[in-house]
A and B are shown apart, each in its own frame.
Chain A
Amino acid sequence: MLALENVDIFHGRIHAVRRVSLHVDPGEIVALIGANGAGKTTLLGAISGLVRVGGGRILHKGDAIQTLSPDAVVRRGISQVPERRLVFGPLSVEDNLLLGAYTRRGRARKADVAADREAVYDMFPVLRDRKKQAAGTLSGGEQQMLAIGRALMARPSALLLDEPGMGLAPAVCKEIFRHIVKLRDERGLTVLLVEQNAKSALAVSDRGYVLETGRILLQGPSEELLANRDVQRAYLGRERDAL
Protein backbone atom coordinates (compact mmCIF):
# COMPACT_ATOMS: atom_id res chain seq x y z
CA MET A 1 0.00 0.00 0.00
CA LEU A 2 2.58 2.48 1.18
CA ALA A 3 6.32 1.93 1.22
CA LEU A 4 9.43 3.98 1.84
CA GLU A 5 12.66 2.81 0.23
CA ASN A 6 15.97 4.15 1.54
CA VAL A 7 14.58 7.61 2.12
CA ASP A 8 17.05 10.39 2.98
CA ILE A 9 15.84 13.85 4.02
CA PHE A 10 17.98 16.90 4.69
CA HIS A 11 17.07 20.09 6.56
CA GLY A 12 19.73 22.38 5.17
CA ARG A 13 22.91 20.60 6.19
CA ILE A 14 21.28 18.44 8.85
CA HIS A 15 20.70 14.87 7.80
CA ALA A 16 17.26 14.50 9.41
CA VAL A 17 16.24 11.10 8.04
CA ARG A 18 18.83 8.46 7.06
CA ARG A 19 18.04 5.67 4.62
CA VAL A 20 14.70 4.81 6.14
CA SER A 21 12.73 1.92 4.67
CA LEU A 22 9.34 0.90 5.94
CA HIS A 23 6.08 -0.40 4.58
CA VAL A 24 2.42 -0.41 5.53
CA ASP A 25 0.19 -3.14 4.13
CA PRO A 26 -3.49 -2.53 3.32
CA GLY A 27 -5.66 -2.57 6.42
CA GLU A 28 -2.71 -2.49 8.76
CA ILE A 29 -2.08 -0.13 11.65
CA VAL A 30 1.63 0.55 11.81
CA ALA A 31 3.15 2.57 14.64
CA LEU A 32 6.21 4.72 14.17
CA ILE A 33 7.61 5.53 17.57
CA GLY A 34 10.57 7.55 18.69
CA ALA A 35 11.61 10.47 20.86
CA ASN A 36 11.15 14.13 20.05
CA GLY A 37 13.30 15.12 17.08
CA ALA A 38 13.78 11.59 15.78
CA GLY A 39 12.42 12.62 12.38
CA LYS A 40 8.90 11.21 12.64
CA THR A 41 7.05 14.36 11.59
CA THR A 42 9.58 14.96 8.81
CA LEU A 43 8.86 11.49 7.41
CA LEU A 44 5.11 12.08 7.39
CA GLY A 45 5.76 15.46 5.74
CA ALA A 46 7.68 13.67 3.00
CA ILE A 47 4.84 11.22 2.35
CA SER A 48 2.34 14.11 2.17
CA GLY A 49 4.54 16.03 -0.26
CA LEU A 50 5.31 18.88 2.15
CA VAL A 51 8.98 17.96 2.48
CA ARG A 52 11.16 16.93 -0.45
CA VAL A 53 13.25 13.79 -0.07
CA GLY A 54 16.98 13.99 -0.76
CA GLY A 55 17.17 10.39 -1.90
CA GLY A 56 15.17 7.18 -2.05
CA ARG A 57 11.60 6.55 -3.11
CA ILE A 58 8.13 6.72 -1.60
CA LEU A 59 5.74 4.25 -3.21
CA HIS A 60 1.96 4.25 -3.07
CA LYS A 61 0.22 1.30 -4.74
CA GLY A 62 3.41 0.76 -6.70
CA ASP A 63 3.82 4.34 -8.02
CA ALA A 64 6.60 6.66 -6.91
CA ILE A 65 4.95 9.67 -5.26
CA GLN A 66 7.90 11.53 -3.71
CA THR A 67 7.76 14.32 -6.30
CA LEU A 68 3.99 14.91 -6.15
CA SER A 69 2.50 18.12 -4.78
CA PRO A 70 0.55 17.93 -1.50
CA ASP A 71 -2.82 18.22 -3.26
CA ALA A 72 -1.93 15.40 -5.66
CA VAL A 73 -1.07 13.17 -2.69
CA VAL A 74 -4.44 13.93 -1.07
CA ARG A 75 -6.19 13.13 -4.34
CA ARG A 76 -4.40 9.76 -4.45
CA GLY A 77 -6.08 8.90 -1.15
CA ILE A 78 -3.44 9.67 1.46
CA SER A 79 -4.61 12.10 4.14
CA GLN A 80 -2.71 13.37 7.13
CA VAL A 81 -3.89 14.45 10.56
CA PRO A 82 -1.08 16.82 11.47
CA GLU A 83 0.72 17.26 14.75
CA ARG A 84 -1.04 19.68 17.12
CA ARG A 85 -4.21 19.10 15.05
CA LEU A 86 -4.02 22.42 13.16
CA VAL A 87 -7.76 22.93 12.84
CA PHE A 88 -8.78 26.17 11.12
CA GLY A 89 -9.49 28.07 14.35
CA PRO A 90 -11.68 30.97 13.21
CA LEU A 91 -13.77 28.79 10.86
CA SER A 92 -16.74 26.79 12.07
CA VAL A 93 -16.58 23.05 12.72
CA GLU A 94 -18.75 22.48 9.66
CA ASP A 95 -16.50 24.59 7.43
CA ASN A 96 -13.45 22.70 8.68
CA LEU A 97 -15.09 19.46 7.57
CA LEU A 98 -16.09 20.94 4.21
CA LEU A 99 -12.52 22.03 3.60
CA GLY A 100 -11.46 18.46 4.28
CA ALA A 101 -13.43 17.56 1.16
CA TYR A 102 -11.81 20.36 -0.86
CA THR A 103 -10.42 17.88 -3.40
CA ARG A 104 -13.95 16.54 -3.97
CA ARG A 105 -15.61 19.64 -5.36
CA GLY A 106 -18.47 19.92 -7.80
CA ARG A 107 -22.20 19.61 -7.88
CA ALA A 108 -22.23 15.86 -8.50
CA ARG A 109 -20.30 15.11 -5.35
CA LYS A 110 -22.23 17.48 -3.12
CA ALA A 111 -24.59 14.80 -1.84
CA ASP A 112 -21.67 12.43 -1.20
CA VAL A 113 -19.82 15.07 0.78
CA ALA A 114 -22.91 15.84 2.85
CA ALA A 115 -23.36 12.13 3.57
CA ASP A 116 -19.72 11.84 4.65
CA ARG A 117 -20.14 14.83 6.91
CA GLU A 118 -23.09 13.14 8.59
CA ALA A 119 -20.96 10.02 8.99
CA VAL A 120 -18.30 12.06 10.77
CA TYR A 121 -20.99 13.57 13.01
CA ASP A 122 -22.27 10.07 13.79
CA MET A 123 -18.77 9.00 14.70
CA PHE A 124 -18.14 12.08 16.88
CA PRO A 125 -21.57 13.33 18.02
CA VAL A 126 -19.99 16.19 19.98
CA LEU A 127 -18.98 17.76 16.65
CA ARG A 128 -22.60 17.81 15.52
CA ASP A 129 -23.56 19.68 18.68
CA ARG A 130 -20.89 22.25 17.95
CA LYS A 131 -21.04 22.46 14.18
CA LYS A 132 -21.63 26.23 14.10
CA GLN A 133 -18.95 26.95 16.70
CA ALA A 134 -15.48 28.25 15.76
CA ALA A 135 -13.07 25.32 15.76
CA GLY A 136 -10.58 27.25 17.90
CA THR A 137 -13.02 27.24 20.82
CA LEU A 138 -13.19 23.43 21.04
CA SER A 139 -11.31 21.47 23.69
CA GLY A 140 -8.14 19.60 22.75
CA GLY A 141 -9.90 16.28 22.44
CA GLU A 142 -12.70 17.74 20.35
CA GLN A 143 -10.17 19.43 18.08
CA GLN A 144 -8.45 16.09 17.61
CA MET A 145 -11.77 14.51 16.64
CA LEU A 146 -12.36 17.37 14.22
CA ALA A 147 -8.88 16.98 12.71
CA ILE A 148 -9.50 13.26 12.16
CA GLY A 149 -12.98 13.89 10.78
CA ARG A 150 -11.60 16.57 8.46
CA ALA A 151 -8.98 14.17 7.11
CA LEU A 152 -11.65 11.50 6.54
CA MET A 153 -13.69 13.94 4.43
CA ALA A 154 -11.20 13.44 1.59
CA ARG A 155 -12.17 9.72 1.59
CA PRO A 156 -8.63 8.49 2.05
CA SER A 157 -7.56 4.87 1.79
CA ALA A 158 -4.52 5.61 3.95
CA LEU A 159 -4.45 7.85 6.99
CA LEU A 160 -1.28 9.33 8.49
CA LEU A 161 -1.70 10.39 12.11
CA ASP A 162 0.91 12.58 13.77
CA GLU A 163 0.77 12.31 17.56
CA PRO A 164 -3.01 12.16 17.92
CA GLY A 165 -2.69 11.70 21.67
CA MET A 166 -0.52 14.74 22.28
CA GLY A 167 -1.65 16.92 25.17
CA LEU A 168 -4.85 14.96 25.79
CA ALA A 169 -6.13 13.54 29.06
CA PRO A 170 -5.54 9.75 29.23
CA ALA A 171 -9.24 8.93 28.95
CA VAL A 172 -9.68 11.15 25.88
CA CYS A 173 -6.51 9.75 24.39
CA LYS A 174 -7.87 6.23 24.82
CA GLU A 175 -11.09 7.18 23.07
CA ILE A 176 -9.20 8.62 20.10
CA PHE A 177 -7.17 5.42 19.75
CA ARG A 178 -10.33 3.34 19.99
CA HIS A 179 -11.75 5.30 17.06
CA ILE A 180 -8.61 4.71 15.02
CA VAL A 181 -8.91 0.95 15.48
CA LYS A 182 -12.60 1.17 14.63
CA LEU A 183 -11.85 3.01 11.40
CA ARG A 184 -9.51 0.25 10.36
CA ASP A 185 -11.94 -2.49 11.33
CA GLU A 186 -15.02 -0.91 9.75
CA ARG A 187 -13.62 0.87 6.70
CA GLY A 188 -10.46 -1.09 6.07
CA LEU A 189 -8.45 2.10 6.45
CA THR A 190 -4.67 1.74 6.37
CA VAL A 191 -3.05 3.69 9.21
CA LEU A 192 0.45 4.96 9.84
CA LEU A 193 0.50 6.20 13.39
CA VAL A 194 3.32 8.38 14.70
CA GLU A 195 3.57 8.61 18.47
CA GLN A 196 5.88 9.56 21.26
CA ASN A 197 3.59 7.65 23.58
CA ALA A 198 4.95 4.24 22.59
CA LYS A 199 2.79 2.25 24.94
CA SER A 200 -0.59 3.41 23.60
CA ALA A 201 0.63 3.27 20.01
CA LEU A 202 1.99 -0.27 20.26
CA ALA A 203 -1.14 -1.39 22.10
CA VAL A 204 -3.37 -0.62 19.10
CA SER A 205 -0.99 -1.31 16.20
CA ASP A 206 -0.14 -4.49 14.33
CA ARG A 207 3.49 -3.69 13.72
CA GLY A 208 5.90 -1.01 14.80
CA TYR A 209 9.09 0.78 13.84
CA VAL A 210 11.39 2.55 16.29
CA LEU A 211 13.00 5.67 14.83
CA GLU A 212 16.00 7.20 16.55
CA THR A 213 17.95 10.23 15.25
CA GLY A 214 16.66 9.63 11.74
CA ARG A 215 17.33 5.88 11.57
CA ILE A 216 15.09 2.85 11.95
CA LEU A 217 16.55 1.12 14.98
CA LEU A 218 14.08 -1.70 15.52
CA GLN A 219 11.05 -3.12 13.82
CA GLY A 220 8.62 -5.96 14.31
CA PRO A 221 5.19 -6.99 15.51
CA SER A 222 3.91 -4.65 18.19
CA GLU A 223 3.80 -7.30 20.96
CA GLU A 224 7.44 -8.09 20.35
CA LEU A 225 8.43 -4.44 20.52
CA LEU A 226 6.41 -4.00 23.72
CA ALA A 227 8.33 -6.89 25.23
CA ASN A 228 11.70 -5.68 23.95
CA ARG A 229 13.99 -4.58 26.77
CA ASP A 230 15.56 -1.72 24.82
CA VAL A 231 12.18 -0.35 23.87
CA GLN A 232 11.00 -0.67 27.45
CA ARG A 233 14.03 1.12 28.78
CA ALA A 234 14.00 3.91 26.24
CA TYR A 235 10.31 4.51 25.56
CA LEU A 236 8.20 2.86 28.21
CA GLY A 237 10.12 4.18 31.20
CA ARG A 238 10.36 0.87 33.03
CA GLU A 239 12.01 -2.52 32.97
CA ARG A 240 10.08 -5.66 33.40
CA ASP A 241 12.06 -6.82 36.42
CA ALA A 242 9.79 -9.79 37.10
CA LEU A 243 11.26 -11.64 34.13
Chain B
Amino acid sequence: MFAAAAQYLVSGLTVGATYGLTGLGFTMIFNTTGIINFAQGEFVMLGGMMSVFFRTWLGLDLFSAILLAVAVTALVGAAMERLTIRPIQGSSPINLVIATIGVSILIRGAAMLLWGKDTFSLPPFGGTAPIPLFGAAVQPQSLWALAITLALLTALKLFFSASIHGKAMLACACNRKAAHLMGISVARMSLFSFALSAFTGAVGGAILAPITMTSYDVGMMLGLKGFAACILGGLGNPFGAAVGGLLIGIMESFGAGYVSSAYKDAFAFVVLLLLLFVRPSGLFGKSGAERV
Protein backbone atom coordinates (compact mmCIF):
# COMPACT_ATOMS: atom_id res chain seq x y z
CA MET B 1 0.00 0.00 0.00
CA PHE B 2 2.63 2.47 1.12
CA ALA B 3 5.08 1.14 -1.42
CA ALA B 4 2.53 1.70 -4.21
CA ALA B 5 1.94 5.29 -3.10
CA ALA B 6 5.68 5.95 -3.02
CA GLN B 7 5.98 4.45 -6.49
CA TYR B 8 3.19 6.67 -7.84
CA LEU B 9 4.76 9.70 -6.21
CA VAL B 10 8.13 9.08 -7.80
CA SER B 11 6.77 8.46 -11.27
CA GLY B 12 4.47 11.47 -10.91
CA LEU B 13 7.37 13.71 -9.95
CA THR B 14 9.42 12.46 -12.87
CA VAL B 15 6.80 13.17 -15.51
CA GLY B 16 5.84 16.33 -13.64
CA ALA B 17 9.38 17.61 -13.99
CA THR B 18 8.95 17.64 -17.76
CA TYR B 19 5.60 19.40 -17.48
CA GLY B 20 7.30 21.93 -15.25
CA LEU B 21 10.06 22.54 -17.80
CA THR B 22 7.47 22.96 -20.54
CA GLY B 23 5.60 25.35 -18.27
CA LEU B 24 8.80 27.32 -17.69
CA GLY B 25 9.12 27.73 -21.44
CA PHE B 26 5.60 29.17 -21.62
CA THR B 27 6.40 31.48 -18.74
CA MET B 28 9.54 32.90 -20.31
CA ILE B 29 7.88 33.80 -23.59
CA PHE B 30 4.81 35.12 -21.79
CA ASN B 31 6.96 37.21 -19.47
CA THR B 32 8.80 38.85 -22.32
CA THR B 33 6.26 39.16 -25.11
CA GLY B 34 2.93 38.74 -23.32
CA ILE B 35 1.83 35.92 -25.61
CA ILE B 36 1.24 32.19 -25.11
CA ASN B 37 3.39 30.12 -27.44
CA PHE B 38 1.42 27.03 -28.42
CA ALA B 39 4.43 25.60 -30.23
CA GLN B 40 6.09 25.07 -26.84
CA GLY B 41 5.13 21.38 -26.83
CA GLU B 42 6.82 20.94 -30.21
CA PHE B 43 10.08 22.20 -28.72
CA VAL B 44 9.80 19.39 -26.18
CA MET B 45 9.14 16.89 -28.97
CA LEU B 46 12.11 18.23 -30.98
CA GLY B 47 14.39 17.89 -27.97
CA GLY B 48 13.53 14.20 -27.61
CA MET B 49 13.28 13.28 -31.28
CA MET B 50 16.45 15.06 -32.32
CA SER B 51 18.40 13.43 -29.50
CA VAL B 52 17.28 10.06 -30.87
CA PHE B 53 18.05 11.16 -34.42
CA PHE B 54 21.52 12.51 -33.72
CA ARG B 55 22.41 9.44 -31.70
CA THR B 56 21.29 6.75 -34.15
CA TRP B 57 21.81 8.47 -37.51
CA LEU B 58 24.93 10.46 -36.77
CA GLY B 59 26.31 7.94 -34.31
CA LEU B 60 27.00 10.47 -31.57
CA ASP B 61 27.20 9.41 -27.96
CA LEU B 62 24.16 10.12 -25.82
CA PHE B 63 25.52 13.23 -24.15
CA SER B 64 26.66 14.97 -27.35
CA ALA B 65 23.45 13.99 -29.14
CA ILE B 66 21.34 15.64 -26.44
CA LEU B 67 23.56 18.71 -26.37
CA LEU B 68 23.29 19.12 -30.13
CA ALA B 69 19.53 18.49 -30.08
CA VAL B 70 19.02 21.13 -27.42
CA ALA B 71 21.16 23.63 -29.32
CA VAL B 72 19.35 23.02 -32.62
CA THR B 73 15.96 23.34 -30.91
CA ALA B 74 17.03 26.68 -29.44
CA LEU B 75 17.88 27.78 -32.99
CA VAL B 76 14.47 26.60 -34.18
CA GLY B 77 12.91 28.75 -31.45
CA ALA B 78 14.94 31.77 -32.55
CA ALA B 79 14.04 31.16 -36.20
CA MET B 80 10.38 30.88 -35.26
CA GLU B 81 10.49 34.31 -33.61
CA ARG B 82 12.30 35.89 -36.54
CA LEU B 83 10.14 34.39 -39.27
CA THR B 84 6.67 34.30 -37.77
CA ILE B 85 6.43 36.58 -34.74
CA ARG B 86 8.65 39.55 -35.68
CA PRO B 87 6.92 40.28 -39.03
CA ILE B 88 3.53 40.66 -37.31
CA GLN B 89 4.69 41.99 -33.95
CA GLY B 90 2.47 45.06 -34.03
CA SER B 91 -0.76 43.09 -34.31
CA SER B 92 -2.99 41.96 -31.46
CA PRO B 93 -1.86 39.15 -29.14
CA ILE B 94 -4.54 36.81 -30.44
CA ASN B 95 -3.05 36.98 -33.96
CA LEU B 96 0.38 36.17 -32.57
CA VAL B 97 -1.00 33.25 -30.58
CA ILE B 98 -2.69 31.86 -33.69
CA ALA B 99 0.62 32.17 -35.55
CA THR B 100 2.23 29.99 -32.85
CA ILE B 101 -0.49 27.37 -33.36
CA GLY B 102 0.35 27.42 -37.06
CA VAL B 103 4.04 26.90 -36.31
CA SER B 104 3.25 23.98 -34.02
CA ILE B 105 1.27 22.25 -36.80
CA LEU B 106 4.11 22.91 -39.23
CA ILE B 107 6.79 21.49 -36.91
CA ARG B 108 4.69 18.41 -36.13
CA GLY B 109 4.08 17.80 -39.85
CA ALA B 110 7.74 18.22 -40.72
CA ALA B 111 8.75 15.84 -37.92
CA MET B 112 6.31 13.23 -39.21
CA LEU B 113 7.68 13.48 -42.76
CA LEU B 114 11.25 13.33 -41.54
CA TRP B 115 11.09 10.62 -38.89
CA GLY B 116 7.84 8.79 -39.63
CA LYS B 117 5.14 7.83 -37.19
CA ASP B 118 7.11 5.33 -35.12
CA THR B 119 7.88 5.71 -31.46
CA PHE B 120 11.50 5.96 -30.42
CA SER B 121 13.36 5.72 -27.19
CA LEU B 122 16.60 6.96 -25.70
CA PRO B 123 18.71 4.92 -23.30
CA PRO B 124 18.58 6.23 -19.73
CA PHE B 125 21.40 8.55 -18.65
CA GLY B 126 22.72 6.59 -15.73
CA GLY B 127 22.06 2.86 -15.96
CA THR B 128 18.84 0.94 -15.34
CA ALA B 129 19.41 -0.67 -11.97
CA PRO B 130 16.49 0.61 -9.84
CA ILE B 131 17.32 2.20 -6.51
CA PRO B 132 15.01 1.06 -3.70
CA LEU B 133 13.56 3.96 -1.76
CA PHE B 134 10.72 3.64 0.82
CA GLY B 135 9.63 0.44 -0.89
CA ALA B 136 9.48 2.02 -4.33
CA ALA B 137 11.85 1.14 -7.12
CA VAL B 138 13.28 4.41 -8.33
CA GLN B 139 14.79 4.48 -11.81
CA PRO B 140 18.04 6.46 -11.93
CA GLN B 141 16.51 8.37 -14.83
CA SER B 142 13.85 9.78 -12.47
CA LEU B 143 16.56 11.24 -10.29
CA TRP B 144 18.26 12.71 -13.34
CA ALA B 145 14.99 14.29 -14.45
CA LEU B 146 14.38 15.89 -11.07
CA ALA B 147 17.96 17.05 -10.63
CA ILE B 148 18.13 18.64 -14.09
CA THR B 149 14.77 20.36 -13.60
CA LEU B 150 15.85 21.73 -10.25
CA ALA B 151 19.15 22.98 -11.67
CA LEU B 152 17.46 24.70 -14.61
CA LEU B 153 14.84 26.25 -12.36
CA THR B 154 17.49 27.65 -10.04
CA ALA B 155 19.47 29.02 -12.96
CA LEU B 156 16.41 30.72 -14.46
CA LYS B 157 15.33 32.10 -11.12
CA LEU B 158 18.78 33.66 -10.71
CA PHE B 159 18.71 34.96 -14.26
CA PHE B 160 15.41 36.79 -13.78
CA SER B 161 16.06 38.10 -10.28
CA ALA B 162 19.76 38.91 -10.35
CA SER B 163 20.83 39.76 -13.89
CA ILE B 164 20.03 43.01 -15.63
CA HIS B 165 19.15 41.11 -18.82
CA GLY B 166 16.61 38.99 -16.98
CA LYS B 167 15.05 42.10 -15.48
CA ALA B 168 15.03 43.72 -18.91
CA MET B 169 13.08 40.72 -20.22
CA LEU B 170 10.53 41.17 -17.44
CA ALA B 171 10.36 44.89 -18.23
CA CYS B 172 9.44 44.12 -21.85
CA ALA B 173 6.43 42.17 -20.66
CA CYS B 174 5.35 44.84 -18.15
CA ASN B 175 5.33 47.61 -20.66
CA ARG B 176 6.89 47.61 -24.10
CA LYS B 177 6.84 51.38 -24.50
CA ALA B 178 8.60 51.95 -21.19
CA ALA B 179 11.11 49.20 -22.04
CA HIS B 180 11.90 50.95 -25.34
CA LEU B 181 12.36 54.23 -23.49
CA MET B 182 14.92 52.60 -21.17
CA GLY B 183 16.95 51.74 -24.25
CA ILE B 184 16.10 48.02 -24.04
CA SER B 185 15.99 46.39 -27.46
CA VAL B 186 12.58 44.75 -27.21
CA ALA B 187 13.07 42.83 -30.48
CA ARG B 188 16.29 41.24 -29.23
CA MET B 189 14.68 40.30 -25.91
CA SER B 190 11.79 38.66 -27.71
CA LEU B 191 14.19 36.65 -29.89
CA PHE B 192 16.17 35.63 -26.84
CA SER B 193 13.07 34.52 -24.93
CA PHE B 194 12.03 32.20 -27.76
CA ALA B 195 15.50 30.67 -27.95
CA LEU B 196 15.67 30.27 -24.18
CA SER B 197 12.28 28.62 -23.87
CA ALA B 198 12.98 26.33 -26.83
CA PHE B 199 16.15 25.37 -24.97
CA THR B 200 14.24 24.64 -21.76
CA GLY B 201 11.57 22.67 -23.62
CA ALA B 202 14.18 20.61 -25.45
CA VAL B 203 15.93 19.71 -22.20
CA GLY B 204 12.57 18.51 -20.90
CA GLY B 205 12.04 16.43 -24.03
CA ALA B 206 15.47 14.85 -23.79
CA ILE B 207 15.10 13.79 -20.17
CA LEU B 208 11.60 12.44 -20.79
CA ALA B 209 12.47 10.36 -23.87
CA PRO B 210 14.11 7.50 -21.89
CA ILE B 211 11.07 7.32 -19.60
CA THR B 212 7.99 7.57 -21.76
CA MET B 213 9.32 7.10 -25.32
CA THR B 214 8.86 9.79 -27.92
CA SER B 215 7.24 10.24 -31.33
CA TYR B 216 6.42 13.09 -33.70
CA ASP B 217 3.12 13.87 -31.97
CA VAL B 218 4.01 13.91 -28.25
CA GLY B 219 4.31 17.72 -28.34
CA MET B 220 0.58 18.39 -28.42
CA MET B 221 -0.28 16.72 -25.12
CA LEU B 222 2.96 17.84 -23.42
CA GLY B 223 2.26 21.39 -24.52
CA LEU B 224 -1.23 21.27 -23.05
CA LYS B 225 0.04 19.82 -19.79
CA GLY B 226 2.79 22.41 -19.62
CA PHE B 227 0.24 25.14 -20.22
CA ALA B 228 -1.95 23.67 -17.50
CA ALA B 229 1.08 23.70 -15.20
CA CYS B 230 1.54 27.41 -15.86
CA ILE B 231 -2.08 28.22 -15.18
CA LEU B 232 -2.12 26.07 -12.07
CA GLY B 233 0.95 27.81 -10.66
CA GLY B 234 -0.10 31.26 -11.81
CA LEU B 235 0.78 32.48 -15.30
CA GLY B 236 4.03 34.43 -15.40
CA ASN B 237 5.56 32.95 -12.28
CA PRO B 238 8.49 30.58 -13.10
CA PHE B 239 8.41 28.99 -9.65
CA GLY B 240 4.65 28.48 -9.97
CA ALA B 241 5.05 26.83 -13.37
CA ALA B 242 7.56 24.32 -12.01
CA VAL B 243 5.48 23.48 -8.95
CA GLY B 244 2.34 23.35 -11.10
CA GLY B 245 4.05 20.85 -13.37
CA LEU B 246 5.08 18.61 -10.48
CA LEU B 247 1.56 18.77 -9.01
CA ILE B 248 -0.03 17.81 -12.31
CA GLY B 249 2.41 14.94 -12.71
CA ILE B 250 1.60 13.66 -9.22
CA MET B 251 -2.17 13.98 -9.70
CA GLU B 252 -1.97 12.08 -12.96
CA SER B 253 0.11 9.36 -11.48
CA PHE B 254 -2.11 8.87 -8.42
CA GLY B 255 -5.26 9.12 -10.52
CA ALA B 256 -3.97 6.49 -12.91
CA GLY B 257 -2.86 4.26 -10.06
CA TYR B 258 -5.89 4.43 -7.78
CA VAL B 259 -8.75 5.15 -10.16
CA SER B 260 -8.07 4.21 -13.74
CA SER B 261 -5.24 4.83 -16.13
CA ALA B 262 -7.78 5.39 -18.91
CA TYR B 263 -8.57 8.79 -17.37
CA LYS B 264 -4.93 9.68 -16.76
CA ASP B 265 -4.95 12.77 -18.95
CA ALA B 266 -8.31 13.96 -17.60
CA PHE B 267 -7.30 14.25 -13.93
CA ALA B 268 -4.95 17.12 -14.44
CA PHE B 269 -7.45 19.12 -16.41
CA VAL B 270 -10.33 18.48 -13.98
CA VAL B 271 -8.24 19.69 -11.06
CA LEU B 272 -7.15 22.68 -13.13
CA LEU B 273 -10.76 23.61 -13.90
CA LEU B 274 -11.76 23.28 -10.24
CA LEU B 275 -8.86 25.47 -9.18
CA LEU B 276 -9.70 28.14 -11.72
CA PHE B 277 -13.20 28.41 -10.27
CA VAL B 278 -11.78 29.05 -6.81
CA ARG B 279 -8.56 30.93 -7.57
CA PRO B 280 -8.59 32.33 -11.10
CA SER B 281 -5.04 33.69 -10.77
CA GLY B 282 -3.55 30.28 -9.95
CA LEU B 283 -1.90 28.96 -6.81
CA PHE B 284 0.98 31.43 -6.72
CA GLY B 285 -0.42 34.12 -9.00
CA LYS B 286 -0.95 37.66 -7.83
CA SER B 287 -4.45 39.06 -8.10
CA GLY B 288 -5.05 41.38 -11.01
CA ALA B 289 -5.59 44.54 -8.98
CA GLU B 290 -2.92 47.18 -9.44
CA ARG B 291 -2.70 50.72 -8.19
CA VAL B 292 -2.36 53.42 -10.77
Task: Assess the B184–A102 pair: CB atoms within 8 A.
Answer: yes
Q: How many residues of A are in contact with the other chain, CB < 8 A?
A: 33
Task: Check if B177 sits within 8 Å of A82, measured CB to CB.
Answer: yes
The CA-CA distance from A88 to B149 in the complex, in Å, is 29
B164/A98 in contact, CB under 8 A: yes
The answer to whether A50 touches B174 (Cβ under 8 A) is no
Tell whether A70 is near chain B: CB-to-CB under 8 Å: yes
Task: Assess the B178–A87 pair: CB atoms within 8 A.
Answer: yes
Interface pair A99/B184, CB less than 8 Å apart: yes
Assembled-state Cα–Cα distance A89/B175 (Å):
9
Q: What residues of chain B lie closer than 8 Å to A61, measured between beta carbons?
A: none
B:165-188 near A, CB below 8 Å: 167-168, 170-171, 174-175, 177-185
In whole angstroms, what is the CA distance A98 to B167 when docked? Answer: 9
A36 at the interface (CB under 8 A from B): no
User: B290 an interface residue at 8 Å Cβ cutoff?
Assistant: yes
User: Of residues 113 to 139 in A, which have CB atoms within 8 Å of B's CB atoms?
Assistant: 136-139
- For residue B289, which residue of chain A has the nearest CB? A136
Instruction: Report how far A80 CA is from B181 CA in the complex, Å.
Output: 6
CB < 8 Å neighbour of A74 from B171, B183, B286: B183
Q: Does A140 lie at the interface of the complex (its beta carbon under 8 Å from any beta carbon of B)?
A: yes
Q: How far is the CA of A49 from the CA of B290 in the complex (A)?
A: 29
Decide yes or no: A50 and B178 within 8 Å by CB, A99-B168, A137-B291 being known contacts.
Answer: no
Give residues of chain B (113-171) contacting chain A, Cβ–Cβ below 8 Å.
164, 167-168, 170-171
Is A95's beta carbon under 8 Å from chain B? yes
Q: Which residues of A contact B174 (CB under 8 A)?
A: 88-91
Q: Beyond A88-B170, A95-B167, A99-B167, is A82–B290 a contact (Cβ under 8 Å)?
A: no
A100 contacts the other chain (CB 8 A): yes
Contact B178 A82 (CB under 8 A): yes
B181 proximity list for chain A (CB < 8 A): 48, 50, 70, 74, 79-80, 82, 86, 151
- B291–A102 contact, CB under 8 A? no
- What is the distance, in angstroms, from B151's C-beta to the closest C-beta of chain A? 25
Main secondary structure of the interface of B (DSSP, over half): helix
With an 8 A cutoff between CB atoms, is B292 at the interface?
yes
A182 at the interface (CB under 8 A from B): no
Task: Write the nearest CB–CB distance from B27 to chain A, whole angstroms.
Answer: 13
What A residues does B183 contact at CB under 8 A?
70-71, 74-75, 102-103, 154
Q: Which residue of B lies closest to A83 (CB)?
A: B177
**Residue of A whose beta carbon sits closest to that of B172:** A88
Q: Is the CB of B175 within 8 A of A150?
A: no
A69 at the interface (CB under 8 A from B): yes
A103 to B184, CA, bound (A): 7
Task: Decide: A105 and B290 in contact? CB cutoff 8 A.
Answer: no
Q: What mask results when residues 47 to 63 of chain A are scored 1 for a CB within 8 Å of chain B, else 0?
A: 01110000000000000
**Are the C-beta atoms of A150 and B182 separated by less than 8 Å?**
yes
CB distance from A27 to the nearest CB of B (A): 23
- Other-chain contact of B291, A48, A84, A138 (Cβ < 8 Å): A138
Q: What residue in chain B is nearest A49 (Cβ atoms)?
A: B180
Residues of chain A within 8 A (CB-CB) of B291 are 136-139
Check A50/B164 contact, CB under 8 A, given A89-B174, A90-B174, A91-B174.
no
B164: contacting residue among A70, A88, A102, CB under 8 A: A102
Contact B182 A102 (CB under 8 A): yes
Of the A-B pairs whose beta carbons lie under 8 Å apart in the complex, a sample of 13, sorted by A's number, is A49-B180, A70-B183, A71-B184, A75-B183, A88-B175, A88-B178, A89-B174, A90-B286, A91-B174, A95-B167, A99-B184, A103-B182, A140-B292
A positions within 8 Å CB-CB of B: 48-50, 69-71, 74-75, 79-80, 82, 84, 86-91, 95, 98-100, 102-103, 105, 136-140, 150-151, 154
